[in-house]
Amino acid sequence: MQESWNRYGGQTSRDVRREAFVVLVSDRRERAERLARGIALVLPCRVIEPGSALPAGPPAAFLVDVATDLTKSGDSGPEGSRESAAWVAAIAASIRASGLPCLYLSRGHAAQDGAAIRLLGGPTVIDPRQPAGIVPTLLRLIGQGRKRGPGAGEGTPQARVERATAVITDLFQAAARGRPPSPAEAEEGTQIVLDTVSEVGIRSWLDLVWRHDLQVYQHSLSVAGFAAAFAAELGFSRSDRQRLAKAALLHDVGKALIPHAILDKPGPLTPEEMRVMRTHAALGADLLAREGAFAPDILAVVRSHHERLDGSGYPDGLKGDEIGDLVRLVAICDVHSALTERRVYRPGLSARAALEIMDAQAGQLDPDLLRVYRPIVARAGSAPPA
């Protein structure tokens, strides 16, 4: 395979060229040759087989078409298994460390795809059987990678918020086209929220988020920020903080399927418009369930974040113990965000006014959790003036 790189516009160690190239990591030779020929129409492609090292020099992007357990792809015996696992781990670590765009070709197996997403640090995932196109997706990722700059934990807080805004925009745009959000992008957005809120605090996070005039996206990022601060206040473990922040980031994804005339209406909704608006919770949960990569408690938050302890919520009229803990936590963050966000028809409420309203809803929102949440309301204050 290595001797065939030049036929596909790639390079050998004896012929290193300076132009941008794509690294294709694959354990399926015939498929890799076909992919490399297609990629070479627009960019040189270097193919890496099991056991090979990554080439010198930074590529424009990585394309990964490899099983996380290569013993299922032809290796035999414990020695082959150990060598395969070590090679996959080493390649994945190098890809993660590079921070470069990475496209992973789904194998159609949820457990294997999930393992690959974790190993590669949140790649973009594409089903090669779908019509989106591998080469166009690669080109899009390369273009975004050049503009994107720092990811979670890197760069200025403002740069990270800009990236988070781009991620949530991609998630909603995919949902608007009837496609489930990318698990990798949801993970990336979650990491940005957790790392940045931990570094600069909830007030600075909100100030940065509100520089972008994208109301639905702002709300999702605001609620995720409140959730990150709430998780820290409760002393959650890293994994539980991640779970809560991701649920909050995705909670309103169903609004991508609501007509803009209703979603952006600068005033009260009619009863019929309200009925349509309330479908967003179930629509979002159904959309995520089609992906198969989101945990049941995440789906529960998306579907049930408007449920209330007294049974007055929607879409299912749940009450009391029927409402899970993660849902209760996100519901508080969602209400707080809605009260303090500025809208085209009203300014955001002050921290004191918001707290008074939330305290009055103690029969609907969990009163014990509300008591823990009070310091976050004070730290967040009000939304900046319009």
Q: Which tens digits make up the pLDDT trace of 145-179?
A: 654 444 555 568 888 888 888 888 888 888 988 98
Same-domain pairing of 144 and 160:
no
Highest average pLDDT, of 58-62, 176-180, 253-257, comes from 253-257
Q: Last residue of a domain, which of 148, 171, 196?
A: 148
Same-domain pairing of 110 and 203:
no
Q: What CA–CA distance (Å, rounded) separates 332 from 367?
A: 10
SS3 state at 105: strand
Q: What CA–CA distance (Å, rounded) separates 35 from 8?
A: 10
Same-domain pairing of 223 and 270:
yes
Same-domain pairing of 184 and 127:
no
CA angle 21, 26, 30 (to 5 degrees): 100
Kindly report the average pLDDT of the chain as a whole number: 83
- CA 382 to each of CA 120, 214, 341, 351: distance values in angstroms, whole numbers, following the listed order: 39, 18, 8, 6
Same-domain pairing of 141 and 161:
no
Which helix (H) or strand (E) segment holds residue 62: the answer is strand 61-65
Same-domain pairing of 96 and 227:
no
Same-domain pairing of 370 and 288:
yes
CB-count burial class (<10 Å; 0-12, 13-18, 19+) for 192: buried
CATH number at residue 107: 3.40.50.2300
In this predicted structure, which of 75-84, 257-266, 324-333, 362-371 has the lowest mean pLDDT?
A: 75-84
Q: Is the pLDDT of residue 113 over 80?
A: no
Mean pLDDT, residues 267-275 taken together: 93
Query: What is the structure's pLDDT at 85?
Result: 79
Nearest to 213 by CA among 97, 96, 305, 343: 343
Q: What CA–CA distance (Å, rounded) separates 325 from 181?
A: 24
Q: Last residue of a domain, which of 101, 131, 148?
A: 148
Same-domain pairing of 159 and 43:
no
Furthest-apart CA atoms within the chain: distance in Å: 73
Is omega for the bond preceding 50 within 30 degrees of 0, making it cis?
Answer: no
Q: Which residue has the tokens 């959730």?
A: 227
In this predicted structure, which of 100-109, 119-128, 291-300 has the lowest mean pLDDT?
A: 119-128
Same-domain pairing of 94 and 172:
no
CA atoms within 13 A on the CB side of 296: 2
Number of C-beta neighbours around residue 272 at 10 A: 9
Same-domain pairing of 84 and 170:
no
Same-domain pairing of 281 and 176:
yes
Same-domain pairing of 238 and 359:
yes
SS3 state at 268: coil
Q: Last residue of a domain, which of 132, 148, 164?
A: 148
Q: Which tens digits make up the pLDDT trace of 199-214?
A: 899 999 998 888 765 5
Query: Residue 266 has what DSSP assignment?
Result: S
CATH number at residue 153: 1.10.3210.10
Do 200 and 155 contact (CB within 8 A), yes or no?
no
The first and second tokens of residue 301, run together, are: 């938050």
Number of structural domains the chain divides into: 2
Q: Which tens digits make up the pLDDT trace of 273-312?
A: 999 999 999 999 999 998 788 999 999 999 999 999 999 9
Query: What is the structure's pLDDT at 362?
Result: 86
The first and second tokens of residue 252, run together, are: 């309103």
- Structural domain that includes position 43: 1-148
- CA 269 to each of CA 257, 261, 262, 277, 279: distance values in angstroms, whole numbers, following the listed order: 17, 10, 7, 9, 14
Each as own residue / partner, the long-range contacts of residues 106-115 (CB below 8 Å, 24 or more positions apart, any chain) are 107/67, 110/292, 110/293, 112/67, 112/68, 112/69, 113/293, 114/183, 114/293, 115/68, 115/69
Query: What is the structure's pLDDT at 7?
Result: 32
Q: Which residue has the tokens 């509300």?
A: 370
Query: What is the structure's pLDDT at 152?
Result: 54
